[in-house]
Amino acid sequence: MATQVRSCSKCFQLMWLKQDDYELLDEETIRAKCPHCGSLVRFKLTSEGANATGPKMGH
């Protein structure tokens, strides 16, 4: 997987997570530690639809 760009659910700051920074829990879920507030957060991976390949960043 490539870099994941996610917003922390605790402090709401963006986290740029490289593959070494997060743990794959199952096929749909990753867990990471926020570099800003230190909270452990979980994210569901989008596998269908327009956002399946990640954020478009204005493209």
Which pLDDT score is estimated for 38?
93
Report if residue 53 sits inside a domain: no
Tell me how long the chain is: 59
Residue 11 domain-assigned (yes or no): yes
Given this model, what pLDDT does residue 12 score? 93
Q: Give me the domain span that covers residue 15.
A: 4-44
In the chain, the number of structural domains is 1
Mapped onto helix, strand or coil, the DSSP state of residue 21 is helix
Q: Rounded distance, CA 24 to CA 44, Å?
A: 10
31 falls within a domain: yes
On whether residue 52 sits in a domain, the answer given is no
pLDDT digits (tens, 9 = 90+) for 6-54: 899 899 999 988 888 889 898 888 899 999 999 999 988 766 666 565 5
Is residue 8 situated within a structural domain? yes
Put the strands of the sheet holding 40-44 in their side by side order: 22-24, 29-33, 40-44
Instruction: For 35, list phi and psi in degrees, rounded to 5.
Output: -70, -15
